[in-house]
Structure 1
Amino acid sequence: MDNIALQKVNIRNLDPNLENVLIVGIIIAKQRPKKFLDTKVSAETYRAVWNFTLRDSVQDYINVTYWSSSEVVFQTNDKFNSGDVVEVINPKILVRKINDYGEQFRPMVTSPFYLSLTEQSAIIKHYGDVTHYLRLLRFPTKPIAGFLPLRDIHNSGAAIKGTYVDILAIVRGLGPNRTVTTKNNENLQVRTIELFDHTSPSLKVDIWEPDVISRSNSWKPRYTALFLTDLCIHWSNFERSFMARVTGRTVVTENPEGTNTIQEVMSIKQVQDKINYLQGNDNMSGTKQFTALIFAFVSSLDLDGLSKTLLIKCGHCKMPMKGSNCENAECPTVFEGMVVESDMNFDIRIMLTDHTGTLTRCRFGSQAAEQALNCTPREFSNMSDDDKCKLKWKYLMERCAVRIAVLFIGKQLPIITVLCISLADTFEVARRLPVY
C-alpha cells in the first residue's frame, strides 16, 4: 500500500468511482465489534465486523464498517476510541440503502455513502493539526431543538415503549460499572447513569457500549450536559418507571454547542406570528417546535426580588420542598429524620422586548442560566442581595443575542426556553435586526 498514490478527499466530495482515497476525520461514535464463524471456509475460522462513525466537518459525517479476521478487527478496535483523529486509507465507497436492515443499528449520518474497510484498507492515527477536528466533538449530529423533555417520556404511557428519542439533559449521577453474563455466556460491562432536565428530576440510562462507558468516566454530575440521539425507551419493572438504553444508533455529544448553530434571526413579532400559526394548525404531524435568534432587551429579570429563581427538591424522593422540609409525608427524610442534601436548579422567568413586541415568562433554562450567571444554583442561593443585583444588571435593559427554542406539548401554551444568552454585538445587531 506504500506504493499507492493516495488522494485526500473530504467526506462531502466522496464518490463511488473514486479509488485509493485517504479521508481524515474524528471518530464521534463506535460500537463493540461482533465476532462470527466464517462459514465460507472448512476450518474453524472467526471473522469480525466493527462499525464506527467518522466526521470531518460540522455538516459531514459517515458510517464506516471494518470487516476482517476477528484478531485484526478486535486489535484495531482497541487502538481507537471516540475523540481520536484518524486516517482511513483505501476504503470502498458504497451507496447507502436507506431501507437496508443494518441501517437501523447505525447512527444517522449526512453522507449518502458508507465506507467499507477490508484487508486492503487501513486505519491509522493522524499526526497533523487536529484542532479543527476536536472542535467537532461539541456539535450534535441532529438538530438540538428536537430533543424530548424527560417529563414527556415519563408521561407518554405505553405508546413510547420501544421508540427512539433524542435527549438533552444534565448528568445527575453515575452508577458503578457492573458485569453481566449474557445468554451466550459472554461477560459484558454495563453502567447506569442518571440524567435530569428542567422538566424532570430523573431518567436512568443503561450504557452497554464500552466506548461510551469509558467516556462517562470524565463526566461530572450536575456539570456535564449531554445530547444523546436515538436512545431506546423501555419500561423497567424493577425501577417501576421508564428507562432509556444507549444503542448502536446513539451518538453522545458532551456539553453540546448546538445552540450556537441557531442562526435564523427573527423579531419578537415574527416569533409570535409563528406561534399563532402553529397553534392554529392542527393538521401538522410530529412535534411542533422551532428555534430562533432574537436581538432583544432583557426587560424583566428579577434575581434579587420576590420572584422565584430556584427549584428546590428533596434529594431523596425528588418531591418539592417547603423551606428545609420535604412535602412528601412518606419520604424517609420526614419520618426517619434522614438528612439528605436538597436538589437545586435554576427556575427563572425572563421577559424579552424589541421594537415589535414582548415575549413574557420565557424559561431561563438551568444550563443556560448557569453559563450566563457564571454560578451554580447552590452558589446563587448563598449570594447576598447586593451580589444578585449585580448579576441582574449584567443583562437587565441590555440588548442581548438570545437563542430560544419554542416547543408545543399537546394543547398547552408553548414553552419558550432561553438556550443561550450573551450581550449583543452592536454591528451584528445593525446588520441583522429584522425591521418588523
Structure 2
Amino acid sequence: MANSFALWTFTALSDLRPNMANLKIIGMVIGKTDVKGFPDRKNIGSERYTFNFTIRDSPNHFVNVSSWGSEDYIRSLSDSFRVGECVRIENPLIQRKEIEREEKFSPATPSNFKLLLSENHSMVKVCSSYEVDTKLLSLMHLPVKESRDYYSLADIVANGHSLDGRIINVLAAVRSVGEPKHFTTSDRRKGQRCEVKLFDEIESSFTMTCWDNESILLAQRWIPQETVIFASDVRINFNKFQNCMTATVISKTIITTNPETPEANILLNYIRENKETNVDDEIDNYMKESINLNTIVNVYTVEKLKLKALKNEGKTDPVYGILYAYISTLNIDDETTKVVRNRCSSCGYIVNEASNTCTICNKNAPRFKSASLSFDMLVDLTDHTGTLHSCSLTGSVAEKTLGYTVNEFLAMTSEQKTTLKWQFLLERSKIYLKLILSHRARGGLKVSILSCKLADPTEACRNLSGQRHF
C-alpha cells in the first residue's frame, strides 16, 4: 500500500506538459554527467556550474534533467546521488527541448521535454526503500535502445575504418576494469581515464575508455567475467597508436548493466559456462606441464596446421607440431602494448591491476602469496602459406626466445628493443606449437608457443622440401 500511495502522488513522465506547477516526479537515474563550470556572462569573472542526468519511470519514458547554479549547490547536488539510485524531484521547470541542438551532446530521449532544476525552488532527494516500486528497479536492466540494435565486437573489428567516428550501440561482456588514472592537462585542468576491456563469443579483448568520473564510478562496480553491458551511443574510433578500433563513453552514452534481454542472456550464459575454462586455459598457458619437445616430430606449414586443427574438430586433444616460420608481428618496442604483466606466484593467473589481487586465490586468501612479473605477449607467425595470428608467447618460453629475463628487458631502451625485434622479424625460426580449436580465439585457433629458436637453414630447407612433412 505504501508503494502504491507513494507512486500515485507523482506525475508520470509521459504526462509532462508545459506550465505544469508543483510537480513531484520519481524515477531511476540511468545516466549522469560530471559537473562542469562555465564563465557567467552576467557576472564577468565568475562561473556558473551545471550537470545533467537522465531519469526513467517506465520502459518507454525517460527524460534529461539539467541543473544550473553556484558551485557549492551543483557539486552538493551531484554528490547526493549516483546512477542506479531512485530519486524524487520536486518543482522542476518543464521546458520543450531543442532536439537537434541538445541531443548532439545529451542522451536521445522519447520525450519532447526536458526538466530544469532551480537552486531556489527545486529539490532532489534519494528515495528510501519503501518508496521504490519493484517496477522502477527493473528499469535499470532495460536498455534505452531496442535490444537487437547493437554492433557485436566482431562487427566493429570487421568494419574497421568505416565506423571511425560513428556513434553506435554495443553489447559485450566485461573482461577487466583498469585502475583509474588521474592527470593534469597543459592548461592545469584535472582529468581522469579508465580503460575497460570487453569481450564476447568471438573477440577476446576490446578497449572501451571512460573519461568522466561518473562512468568510471559505474565501471568500478562491474565484476570482470560476470558482467554484461549494453552501452548505447558510444563513439567508435580507430586508435592509430594501438592500430585497432576502440570505444569511448561520451556525454550521450547510457550504459545498462546486465540487461534483461534475450541477446544479453545468451552472452551472459556463454561467459558463465566458459568462465572456468577461461581461467584454466590461462593458467595452463603459464604453468605448462613439462612437455618433452623431442616427442613433437610432425612438421607443418601454416596452411596444413590449420587443416589439421579443423580435422580435429570435436576433439579435446590439442595438436602439437613444428613450424618453420617468421615472427611477423612482435610489438616489444611499442609503448602502448603491454608485454609484461603481474602473475600470481601461486596459480599463475594474471593479477587484477585495479585491485592488485588474484581473482582465483582471493577466494582462499592464504593461498595468495605474491605476484611476479612475467612476459605475456601475442605474436603473429607467418610462412609462405599463411599466418597464424595472436599466438601466445609467455613466461620462461618468452625469456628463452628473446634471450633476456623480464628485468633485463625492462631495463632496455626503446632502440635496443627495436634492434632485438628485428633479429626475429628477418630470420626464420623453428617453433614448437600447441594448438586447440577455440571459437573465442581469433580465427578459431588458440595457439601457444612451446619453444622458439632461430632455425638452422639446412634443417629448415630439408623439412620444408617435404621430408617428415604432415
Q: Using structure 1 for the length normalisation, give the TM-score.
A: 0.60
Helix, strand or coil for the counterpart of 1:317?
strand
Could you tell me which amino acid in structure 2 is paired with residue 207 of structure 1? C
Conserved? CA contact 1:332–1:338, under 8 Å: no
Using the TM superposition, give the Cα deviation of residue 328 of structure 1 relative to its aligned residue in structure 2, in angstroms: 5.2
C-alpha distance in structure 2 between counterparts of 1:114 and 1:309, whole Å: 58
Using the TM superposition, give the Cα deviation of residue 337 of structure 1 relative to its aligned residue in structure 2, in angstroms: 5.0
Describe how 1:296-311 pairs up with structure 2 within 5 A: 308=314
How many matched pairs? 287
CA change 1:333–1:162 in 2 (3 A) is same
1:8 equivalent in structure 2: 10
Asked whether 1:135 is paired with 2:138, we answer yes
Could you tell me which amino acid in structure 2 is paired with residue 332 of structure 1? L
Using the TM superposition, give the Cα deviation of residue 345 of structure 1 relative to its aligned residue in structure 2, in angstroms: 7.4
Describe how 1:85-234 pairs up with structure 2 within 5 A: 85-100=86-101, 102-119=102-119, 120-127=121-128, 128-130=130-132, 131-234=134-237
Asked whether 1:336 is paired with 2:429, we answer no
CA change 1:146–1:196 in 2 (3 A) is same
1:67 equivalent in structure 2: 68
C-alpha distance in structure 1 between counterparts of 2:31 and 2:71, whole Å: 20
CA change 1:329–1:218 in 2 (3 A) is closer
Helix, strand or coil for the counterpart of 1:176?
coil
C-alpha distance in structure 2 between counterparts of 1:319 and 1:343, whole Å: 16
CA change 1:242–1:116 in 2 (3 A) is same
- Between structure 1 and structure 2, the one with the greater Rg is 2
Helix, strand or coil for the counterpart of 1:213?
helix
Map Cα deviations across residues 50-92 of structure 1 (whole Å, 9 max, x no partner).
Answer: 1000011111111000111122111110111001111111111
2:27 equivalent in structure 1: 25
When the two chains are superposed, the root-mean-square deviation of aligned CA atoms in Å is 3.2
Could you tell me which amino acid in structure 2 is paired with residue 16 of structure 1? P
C-alpha distance in structure 2 between counterparts of 1:195 and 1:31, whole Å: 22
CA change 1:318–1:63 in 2 (3 A) is farther
C-alpha distance in structure 2 between counterparts of 1:32 and 1:241, whole Å: 28
Could you tell me which amino acid in structure 2 is paired with residue 184 of structure 1? D
1:76 equivalent in structure 2: 77
Conserved? CA contact 2:170–2:232, under 8 Å: yes
Helix, strand or coil for the counterpart of 2:204?
strand
C-alpha distance in structure 2 between counterparts of 1:85 and 1:344, whole Å: 46
CA change 1:22–1:156 in 2 (3 A) is same
Helix, strand or coil for the counterpart of 2:131?
coil
- Unaligned segments of structure 2, at least 5 residues: 1-7, 266-311, 319-375, 382-386, 401-434, 441-470
Helix, strand or coil for the counterpart of 2:99?
coil
Conserved? CA contact 1:168–1:228, under 8 Å: yes
CA change 1:328–1:12 in 2 (3 A) is closer
Conserved? CA contact 2:236–2:247, under 8 Å: yes
Q: Using structure 2 for the length normalisation, give the TM-score.
A: 0.56
Conserved? CA contact 2:28–2:137, under 8 Å: yes
Conserved? CA contact 1:224–1:254, under 8 Å: yes
Using the TM superposition, give the Cα deviation of residue 159 of structure 1 relative to its aligned residue in structure 2, in angstroms: 2.3
Map Cα deviations across residues 349-397 of structure 1 (whole Å, 9 max, x no partner).
Answer: xxxxxxxxxxxxxxxxxxxxxxxxxxxxxxxxxxxxxxxxxxxxxxxxx
CA change 1:8–1:200 in 2 (3 A) is same
After TM superposition, the runs of 4+ consecutive aligned structure 1 residues lying more than 6 A away are 342-347
Using the TM superposition, give the Cα deviation of residue 13 of structure 1 relative to its aligned residue in structure 2, in angstroms: 0.8
Taking every aligned residue pair, what percent have the same amino acid on both sides?
A: 28
1:350 equivalent in structure 2: none
1:404 equivalent in structure 2: none
C-alpha distance in structure 1 between counterparts of 2:315 and 2:115, whole Å: 50
Conserved? CA contact 1:95–1:114, under 8 Å: yes
Helix, strand or coil for the counterpart of 1:8?
coil
1:49 equivalent in structure 2: 50
CA change 1:172–1:80 in 2 (3 A) is same
CA change 1:222–1:345 in 2 (3 A) is farther
C-alpha distance in structure 1 between counterparts of 2:24 and 2:17, whole Å: 13
Helix, strand or coil for the counterpart of 2:180?
strand
2:445 equivalent in structure 1: none
Larger helix fraction of residues: 2
C-alpha distance in structure 2 between counterparts of 1:336 and 1:220, whole Å: 31
Could you tell me which amino acid in structure 2 is paired with residue 28 of structure 1? I
